[in-house]
């Protein structure tokens, strides 16, 4: 059997789609491409929002305090310790509390 005979007729191993199936597949591809474009646009918007948020967070300044020879950033505006609520201002004035938090390796105070 010649090569031409293998590629044509019932001896072919390739399936052919009807024009209706081809049209349906083309519609599906077009729909998926449109969805992809929408998702890419949404992704770009989210990336931009994330960058703005990251920049805003970098601008946040934390109050500092000296404990001994070291300076610490106070990373919480409010917190509860041993059942009592404190503010960053309270902590900045309370070196005994600061020393307790440092000894506990609390994340409220971050060494500068």
d(C-alpha 34, C-alpha 28), whole Å:
10
Pair (82, 51) in one structural domain: no
Decide if 74 is inside a domain. yes
70-82 per-position pLDDT tens digit? 999 999 999 999 9
Read off the tokens for 91. 């902590």
Does residue 25 carry a pLDDT above 90?
yes
Q: How many domains does the chain have?
A: 2
Decide if 4 is inside a domain. no
d(C-alpha 73, C-alpha 52), whole Å:
23
- What is the model's pLDDT at position 6? 46
pTM: 0.47
């Amino acid at each position: 059997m010649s090569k031409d005979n293998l590629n044509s007729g019932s001896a072919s191993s390739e399936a052919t789609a009807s024009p209706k199936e081809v049209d349906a597949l083309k519609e599906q591809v077009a729909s998926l491409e449109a969805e992809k474009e929408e998702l890419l646009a949404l992704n770009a918007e989210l990336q931009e929002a994330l960058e703005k948020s990251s920049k805003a967070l970098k601008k946040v300044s934390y109050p500092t305090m000296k404990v001994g020879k070291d300076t610490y950033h106070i990373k919480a505006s409010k917190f509860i310790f041993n059942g009592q609520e404190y503010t960053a201002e309270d902590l900045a004035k309370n070196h005994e509390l600061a020393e307790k938090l440092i000894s506990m390796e609390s994340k409220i105070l971050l060494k500068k």
